[in-house]
């Protein structure tokens, strides 16, 4: 079977497509024919050796997939060949076939296509966990989403609205902000052309925002933190801009603001029941039409490295997916 291979940490251009043997599932694993594999920012970091997880080389990137079960290990009880599933695999997804742990696999919900299934779990679970479990976002509060047209950003807009918040989307172009409006943002800030702190203060009549969702870091975090209201919460999601900001802590003291780290992957190990409850919530919102992942582009497996380069180069709106078997 064909797979995208990272032979050495380094430039995304160095990724190659190779024919490798089909993997064999362990006792609690499934072998899945991959129908769609979503591209996430950590894929770009991982192949460059810049992510907190550094898989042994060589490896195939691709963290979340949907597809059809081909075979199951001896101890797998709830899945069988032919089932349509979604799986969080961490790596291995940009391939015709992929192994998944049964514990991290779920049935593809009725009415959901493979692309949507692949694009749902990582970003929407991250944003729901961040806003509900870490940020305690309340109905009527104001939420600012940075990098709002990206994968986790679009999910944060939709979930913020579903939780009853007023959502201010912040992004680098009017084109990206138009998408944010389409998925429900109430107001927008173009942080390439507008002063982020001043614009948030203007939009909140000087009160400031209650929660900032920050997957970007770099030069955007401090002005957003300065625009947080009394008891505001800054949710630290990631650093897509590259730099990890160093924040003067008096900004937390002055308005009793909180700076809250979010690590969805590890949170599922610490609170599996909470994770399951969040998945049920997402399925219910999907069934009701409240959330709809935006898949803006498809790539063949041969072009998977281009897809990873595109997300690294700030060119993606919503989610993009690789379709290895079409
Ligand atoms: N903590 C967790 O549990 C968790 C889970 C999933 C993802 N993450 C992290 O969240 C971040 C976003 O992930 P994602 O998959 O949503 O990525 P994404 O779709 O690429 O979105 C990231 C956004 O960051 C902005 N950005 C600003 N400067 C950038 C730069 N130099 N290069 C690339 N993007 C830049 C872009 O928006 P503008 O152009 O509008 O600025 C882009 O849309 C990543 O750092 C990822 O590692 C964290």
Does the CB atom of residue 241 touch ligand 1 within 6 A? yes
- What per-residue confidence (pLDDT) applies to 148? 98
In angstroms, the CA 106 to CA 34 distance is: 14
Whether residue 287 is contained in a domain is answered as no
Measured on CA atoms in the order 109, 116, 44, 127, is the torsion positive or negative?
negative
Q: Which residue has the tokens 């072998």?
A: 31
Three-class SS of residue 40? Answer: coil
Residue with the nearest Cα to atom 25 of ligand 1? 147
Does the CB atom of residue 152 touch ligand 1 within 6 A? yes
Are 247 and 303 in the same domain?
no
Average pLDDT over residues 150-154: 98
Are 100 and 133 in the same domain?
no
168 — phi, psi (to 5°)? -105, 115
- This prediction has a pTM of 0.96
User: How many residues are recorded in the chain?
Assistant: 326
Whether the bond between 58 and the residue before it is cis, its omega within 30 degrees of 0, is yes
Three-class SS of residue 257? Answer: coil
- What per-residue confidence (pLDDT) applies to 187? 98
Tell me which residue of 263, 278, 318, 293 sits closest to 163, measured CA to CA: 278
Whether the CB-CB separation of 186 and 179 falls below 8 Å is answered with no
In angstroms, the CA 274 to CA 276 distance is: 5
Q: How far does the centroid of ligand 1 lie from the alpha carbon of residue 281, in Å?
A: 24
H helices of 100-236, where? 114-128, 151-162, 174-182, 196-203, 221-226
Q: What does the mean pLDDT of the chain come to? A: 97
pLDDT digits (tens, 9 = 90+) for 87-117: 999 999 999 999 999 999 999 998 899 999 9
Q: How far does the centroid of ligand 1 lie from the alpha carbon of residue 126, in Å?
A: 12
DSSP bridge pairs for 321: 38, 298
pLDDT digits (tens, 9 = 90+) for 221-236: 999 999 999 999 999 9
Are 134 and 261 in the same domain?
yes
- What per-residue confidence (pLDDT) applies to 2? 98
Q: How confident is the model at residue 40 (pLDDT cuts 50, 70, 90)?
A: very high
What residues contact residue 24 under an 8 Å CB cut-off, 6+ apart? 31
Whether residue 270 is contained in a domain is answered as no
Percent of the chain with pLDDT strictly greater than 70:
100
Percent of the chain with pLDDT strictly greater than 90:
98
- What per-residue confidence (pLDDT) applies to 274? 95
Are 104 and 14 in the same domain?
yes
Are 258 and 147 in the same domain?
yes
Does the CB atom of residue 51 touch ligand 1 within 6 A? no
Question: Which of the listed residues 37, 38, 39, 41 should we mutate to test ligand 1's pocket, taking the one with most ligand atoms within 8 A of CB?
Answer: 41
Q: How far does the centroid of ligand 1 lie from the alpha carbon of residue 240, in Å?
A: 4
Whether residue 230 is contained in a domain is answered as yes
Are 211 and 240 in the same domain?
yes
Are 195 and 130 in the same domain?
yes
Q: How far does the centroid of ligand 1 lie from the alpha carbon of residue 316, in Å?
A: 10
Measured on CA atoms in the order 240, 246, 248, 249, is the torsion positive or negative?
positive
- What per-residue confidence (pLDDT) applies to 6? 98
Are 65 and 170 in the same domain?
no
- Taking 90 as the threshold, does the pLDDT of residue 34 lie above it? yes
Domain carrying residue 22: 2-108+294-323
Token digits for 99?
Answer: 């192994």
pLDDT digits (tens, 9 = 90+) for 50-83: 998 999 999 999 999 999 999 999 999 999 999 9
Q: Which residue has the tokens 């299934």?
A: 117
Three-class SS of residue 173? Answer: coil
Does the CB atom of residue 307 touch ligand 1 within 6 A? no
Are 78 and 191 in the same domain?
no
What residues contact residue 200 under an 8 Å CB cut-off, 6+ apart? 144, 168, 189, 208, 209, 224, 227
- What per-residue confidence (pLDDT) applies to 326? 79
Residue 20 sits in a domain whose CATH number is: 3.90.180.10
Plot region of 273 (φ>0 → left; ψ -120 to 50 → alpha; else → beta):
alpha
Are 166 and 252 in the same domain?
yes
Average pLDDT over residues 113-128: 97
The domain total for the chain is: 2
Does the CB atom of residue 242 touch ligand 1 within 6 A? yes
Q: What is the DSSP letter of 95?
A: B
Are 178 and 253 in the same domain?
yes
pLDDT digits (tens, 9 = 90+) for 244-269: 999 999 999 999 999 999 999 999 99
């Amino acid at each position: 079977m064909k797979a995208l291979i990272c032979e050495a940490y380094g430039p995304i251009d160095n990724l190659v497509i190779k024919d490798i043997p089909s993997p064999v599932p362990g006792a609690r694993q499934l072998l899945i024919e991959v129908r769609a594999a979503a591209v996430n920012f950590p894929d770009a970091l991982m192949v460059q050796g810049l992510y907190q997880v550094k898989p042994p080389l060589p490896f195939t990137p691709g963290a979340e997939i949907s597809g059809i079960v081909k075979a199951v290990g001896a101890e797998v009880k709830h899945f069988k060949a032919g089932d349509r599933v979604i799986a969080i695999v961490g790596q291995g997804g940009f391939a015709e076939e992929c192994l998944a742990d049964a514990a991290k696999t779920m049935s593809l919900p009725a009415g959901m296509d493979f692309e949507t299934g692949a694009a749902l779990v990582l970003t929407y679970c991250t944003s729901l966990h961040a806003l509900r479990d870490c940020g305690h976002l309340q109905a009527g509060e104001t939420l600012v989403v940075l990098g709002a047209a990206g994968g986790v950003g679009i999910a944060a807009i939709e979930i913020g609205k579903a939780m009853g918040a007023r959502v201010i989307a912040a992004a680098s172009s009017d084109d990206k902000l138009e998408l944010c409006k389409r998925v429900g943002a109430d107001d927008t800030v173009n942080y390439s052309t507008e002063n982020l702190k001043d614009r948030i203060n203007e939009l909140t009549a000087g009160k400031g925002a209650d929660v900032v969702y920050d997957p970007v870091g770099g030069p955007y975090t401090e002005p957003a933190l300065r625009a947080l209201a009394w008891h505001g919460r800054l949710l630290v999601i990631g650093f897509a801009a590259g730099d990890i900001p160093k924040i003067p802590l008096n900004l937390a003291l002055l308005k009793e603001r909180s700076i809250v780290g979010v690590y969805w992957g590890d949170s599922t190990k610490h609170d599996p029941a909470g994770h399951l409850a969040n998945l049920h919530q997402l399925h219910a919102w999907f069934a009701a039409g409240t959330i709809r992942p935006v898949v803006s582009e498809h790539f063949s497996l041969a072009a998977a490295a281009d897809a990873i380069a595109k997300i690294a180069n700030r060119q993606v709106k919503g989610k993009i997916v690789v379709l290895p078997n079409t």
